[in-house]
Amino acid sequence: MKSKSIGILTKPKFPEIKATVHAVVNWLRDRKIDVILDSTSAALLNERGGVQKTQLAQKADVMLILGGDGTMLNAARLAAERGIPILGVNMGGLGFLTEVRLEHLFPSLERVFANEYVLDERLMISSHIHRHGETVAQGLVLNDVVISKGTLARMIELNIAIQGQFVTTLRGDGLIISTPTGSTAYSLSAGGPIISPAVRSLILSPVCPHTLTHRPLIVPDDAEIDVTLTSKDEGAMATLDGQVGVALTQGDTVLLKVSEHRTRLIRFPESSYYAVLREKLKWGGS
């Protein structure tokens, strides 16, 4: 890959992050690669000139993520519109999105520059929250949109429609609308299925439904989903990728559909989605 520039996004809480950022920046600059740092990464190196995270994906040709899945989700939203490739280096614990272990960082970068990689395109959800006919919030997500009750509310009531057709009224703690990538996140904890990212679909997973016959529902990737909060609940929220929260009031509608944008993850040919599942979920076998 003849890359003009690499943008580096970090999560500064990891104890080895400063030394890692220093080493990787020197490695890249020694190879005449233009390095763009977000302000957090620049501060770790005592450098000036770091850019805001929102500008990182606008200036870089590739994003290198040093962190965990949360940092990757942040990067996915930042990179979505330009569709630039993302390489994730796992510096945390459980990680389904990060491709590279820290000890393999430099050999993996060598492989990227030698074009020994593939791009794994992942569906994203476009979400719009409407109130009295106006859009009050919107966003792209890689994992999920969660509509949940407030801390004190017993349960919320949601009307769900797909392709303009009423499906059900759900009473419970909430609803998760996830991509196949997000099927191994909160949706899995709520009893949802694991969906291979190669399957073009969305998953609706109820959270603690009052009616026990409400089960996870898988719909095709061209489905448009409308979820309306019909109960009057203080504290009800729509949360995008677990990172951006929007307060909901009675009558608000969350409109969701698959975005035209994709998250493009750098993967290596020997990588196996099922091997990741086996390792992360501690399934048996070799």
Please, is 238 exposed, middle or buried when counting C-beta atoms within 10 Å of its C-beta (0-12, 13-18, 19+)?
buried
CB atoms within 10 A of CB 76: 28
Largest CA distance in the chain: 61
Task: Match 């957090």 to its residue by tokens.
Answer: 40
Please, is 221 exposed, middle or buried when counting C-beta atoms within 10 Å of its C-beta (0-12, 13-18, 19+)?
middle
Q: How far apart are CA 236 and CA 150, in angstroms?
A: 5
Cα distances (Å, whole numbers) of residue 245 to 5, 113, 176: 32, 38, 14
Give yes or no for a contact between 221 and 198, defined as CB atoms under 8 angstroms apart: no
Answer yes or no: 69 catalytic.
yes
How many CA atoms within 13 Å lie on the side-chain side of 17?
Answer: 21
Give yes or no for a contact between 24 and 89, defined as CB atoms under 8 angstroms apart: no
Q: How far apart are CA 30 and CA 38, in angstroms?
A: 20
Of 61, 59, 57, residue with least CA distance to 112: 61
Q: How far apart are CA 197 and CA 132, in angstroms?
A: 35
> How many residues in total does the chain contain?
286
- Catalytic: which of 61, 69, 120, 252? 69
Return the active site residues. Answer: 69
